[in-house]
Structure 1
Amino acid sequence: MFNIYNQKGNDRLITVKAPGKLYIAGEYAVVETGYPSIIVALNQFVTVEISQSKSYGSIVSKQYRDDSVLWRRQGDQMILDNRDNTFNYIISAIRLTEEYAQALGRPMELYDLRVNSDLDSPNGKKYGLGSSAAVTVATVKGLCQFYKLPLTKSQLFKLSAIAHLDVQGNGSLGDIAASVYGGWIAYWSFDRDWLLAARTQQSLTELVNQPWPSLKITQLTQPDNLRLIIGWTGTPASTSHLVDKVAIQKSRQHQIYAEFLRDSKNCLEDLIQGFKDGSLERIKAGIKRNREILQQLADFTKVAIETPTLKKMCDIAVENTAAAKSSGAGGGDCGIVVIDKQVNVDSMIERWKENGITRLALNVHPVIDLNKE
């Protein structure tokens, strides 16, 4: 799983996986410092393999064979031989992890890095499972093993979060947390303005070894009678673009946006308590309320969070005694359904099919133990 390390003569082969994720609740509000969300890690993965090389290193993706990247060393610097590539998150993760490795006195080496993902559909469409976050986490984790760097979950999150933020520029980084910690998590986002300033004044080792303002990650326990079902609309969506649209509108309507943040925070605190109490009914009520709050956000920002297909998916689920809502930024991708395990969902799934909605055969990935996996 996450930590497989093989020694074959002088050749080292590192194989790591990072799970994808889905947001359960708290979307959009979580991009603001200190606001809570609930996210779940899923049993679909990005796999990264790293092995030593001699003259040239390579970065190869099974999904993008035509866009493989060759690179070489110039001193300790990584020099790319082609600048236009689809591997921005991988490159950012490599640069940051190697900066960290050098700070800990590790000499730089050449290696081949191979990436394979099952977070997208067979025809290449994105499910919205956080592939960019998973590949960032897997790359950082694999390189830390390759360079034999000690690593805690907190350090892995912080290195991956910085690398991801360098590319995407926005977002809460909750998807990074899900790929690092596994299972169900409650996630409160850190102060990104603080991080931006701190990076100009502190070393990378100092940054990853100190508390980050407002950051909080807590594992949650799924109630025994809770079943999570995921529906896919077949329409990919861009999280960063949707977040940007909301950001533009919030600057024009401060009071309404402040009310949205307050409502989302209250809803999520109640939802998190529902997990602590093991109360499926309280969780379902929280999911229903969060859907309403996101619909209000969509109304005043004019951002299509819940598309007609997502609405149909949720409405059908609600008719079958479930609680349902869009997942993540919306605009397409996936919706989540929370329902009692005793309820037969065959008719719900059949109606989904009739409306062009696919049930994804995904399960929750367990809490990750870095000492065992």
Structure 2
Amino acid sequence: MRPDTRPPQPYEQIAVIGGGAWGTALASVAARSGRHVRLWLRDEALADDIAAGRGNTRYLEGIELPRGIHPTTDLARALDGADAVLLVTPSTTVRDMAQRIGDVAAPGAPIFVCAKGIEAHTGLLMSEVAAEAAPGRAIGTVTGPTFATETAAGHPTAVTVACTSGVRVPPRDRAATRMAISLATGAFRPYVSNDMPGVEVGGAVKNVIAIACGILEGAGFGENSRAAIITRGLDEMKELAVKLGGARETVTGLGGLGDLMLTCSSRQSRNFSYGFQRGQGLGDEEVFGGKPVVVEGRHNAITVTDLARLLGITMPISEMVRAIVADGEPIGDAFATYWAAPIRAEPRALDLEIAHPAIEAVTKRFEDLNG
């Protein structure tokens, strides 16, 4: 039998639902790749700005967008003729938007959910939420270490494209492969995966870990502290992903470790920046100058730990962040509780747990964070 050398077929017409920074960045990538792109936005004035060539003046100020993006505030028009859909709205709106898309989009058009998180009260990943809301459709995601401004500006960027579809379909014909080909440009390099739990858990948990890293840097701690939190946070990602049927290998890829490293290392990340300001002593209502900025990690801290508790697994860093952002525990007390936990082995096969011998010293080390 000859090997299958047919080139994968890209999706020629893509609807991007959501005109925030990341939605507009993905629309830019698709347009540069030669796709016909319709971008749905709620704000008519913003749609007019994009149509007039002024760019996304609210979320990507100063970034020149490529031609080929057709903005609209009419959802039916955005979806008309679309071969595939990129759903790029906040996680709390995914269920409603996926249902609306499922009712209107052409039969067979897959939905790639680009929001990251776990739904409150159900414990469902975003792909599972979309699958419930738009039954019968292939559901995927585009995720990885990305800042929207750099992606829109054409900086070299790598992502993972994953999808639930295609168990009986050759890999080159699966929805994830076709979307990867549809988005590939000289700067935007996609990888393909069939492990939805693995890539989605990374996207949800990394926001929580980034808050912890931001707090430590804001409080004046250095790279040792951040490296410790990133490494042990990665372990929490793996634990949850495997429990949900994902592979540990996936979590060390772009959608897990890659996204974690980026989000935990830059104040461009709203989650890291939020934590940094809290670490400097600002109250929850004072961060970002009191402006209503969406910080997904605050919401994720609750939904991630709710799911972990339900599944019977331990995620101590995520629990620490939840204690701070949701339960109002003083930052110093929360970090002291984490740092003074019993000493354990890293290899899970080595069954070891010893009470921390310096609990009082740990408490003293972090007491200044209480303000």
TM-score, normalized by length of structure 1? 0.29
Higher normalized contact order (CA 8 Å, seq sep 6+, divided by chain length):
1
TM-score, normalized by length of structure 2? 0.29
